[in-house]
Every structure is written in C-alpha cells, then in structure tokens.
A = this chain, B = another copy of it.
Amino acid sequence: MRILKYAILGLLYNEKLTGYDITSKFKGPLGQFWTAKHSQIYPELRKLTDEGFIQYEVVVQGTKLEKKVYEITSLGEKELSEWLEKVERDSSVNKDEFMLKTYFISAMEKEEAYDLFNDQLVKRKENLSKLQKTLSLLEEDEIPITFSSPQFGHYLVLTRAIEREKGYIVWLEKTIDLLK
C-alpha cells in the first residue's frame, strides 16, 4: 500500500532531490529491492506535495531549465517514522519468473533446460560483479560505516544483494551439474 510513497520519503530524509534524481536512485543498489519508473514517480511527488509530506523549490539550471528540488517536511518525517517502526504482517512474495519456469522443468527438453540455466548463470554473475564493484567503491571512500550514517543502509543493502546473488549462483551451478 503506497510503498513508493515511503521510498520517496526515505530518499528525501537525507538529501534534497529532483524527480530525476529519485529515478536515478532506483537504478543503483536500492533498485535490487525496489524500483519505480519516472512515470510513476512524478505523479507520486505531486501527491506527496498536496498531502504536505514534501515541498519543493524551483531551481534554474543553466538559463532556462527549471527543476523542482524536493525536500521532506516535518510532517513527512513523522509519516516515514511510522512506516519504519511498523512490522509488516506478511512479507510480499518475491516473484521470480525464472523460478516459475524451473517449477515446470519437466515440460522442457533437457538441452533446453541446460541452456536456460546457463543463461541465467551468466546474468547472475554479471549482476554480482556489478554489485561487487559498487561495494569496492563504497569501501574505498574510507568514510567509516557507522550506524546513523546514510552510508550504513547503502552498505547493508549491497552486502545482502551480493550474498543473495552468490547463493543463487551456487544453486544454479549445482542444478546445472544435475542436468549433465
């Protein structure tokens, strides 16, 4: 129920951002666990502004380009806190089309399944190395990663995403062996 609302409030908790910036954030590590397209973000920003959870300032870039720089209001911070405190009653299912296909593996030719699993293995490895590069960059910064630094959440999400990919890869390799 309107989780995007909280994602935006959370992003604005630490810094002022434009709609475009928010869209970009979902292309980084955060995007491993939540995403939204700009076509969803702009109407949501409008709505949050109307509700008083955020406000914006028009900043002129160059000579003509007007951009809206959003910041969270105290009302918005309160709203964010309430969501953060609340435990979810039922964690939503992680839909995975590849695993759905796997469930129906008996309807495939063995060779076909082999190809499909190898393709998935390549993709997962690509994602893993991308994530590992991001982690290296984060660790290079030398900024100590402590609780209550905005880096901390970033770091936790990255390590979780990396471990998740590693686990997926191990399982894929094990399964590919069974298909030989």
Chain B residue at smallest Cβ distance from A10: B104
Docked pose: A81 CA to B91 CA in angstroms: 32
| Interface residue? A7 (CB, 8 A) | yes
Decide if B104 touches A97 in the complex (CB within 8 Å).
no
* A88 neighbours in B (Cβ, 8 Å): 97-98
Decide if A103 touches B153 in the complex (CB within 8 Å).
yes
Q: Beyond A3-B100, A84-B112, A107-B13, is A93–B153 a contact (Cβ under 8 Å)?
A: no
Question: Of B33, B99, B179, which is within 8 A of A103 by CB?
Answer: B33
B-binding segment of A46-54, A134-142, A155-163 = A155-163
Question: Of B35, B97, B120, B150, which is within 8 A of A3 by CB?
Answer: B97
Q: How many residues of A contact B (CB 8 A)?
A: 65
| Interface residue? A177 (CB, 8 A) | no
B-binding segment of A16-24, A59-67, A167-175 = A167-175
Interface residues of A in 64-102 (CB under 8 A from B): 80-81, 83-85, 87-88, 91-102
Question: Of B93, B95, B112, B147, which is within 8 A of A105 by CB?
Answer: B147
7 pairs of A and B residues whose beta carbons are closest in the complex: A33-B99, A10-B104, A167-B167, A94-B94, A103-B153, A105-B153, A33-B96
Question: Which A residues lie at the B interface, using CB under 8 A?
Answer: 3, 6-7, 10, 13-14, 30-35, 80-81, 83-85, 87-88, 91-108, 110, 112-113, 116, 119-120, 123, 147-150, 152-154, 156-157, 159-160, 163-164, 166-168, 170-171, 175, 178-179
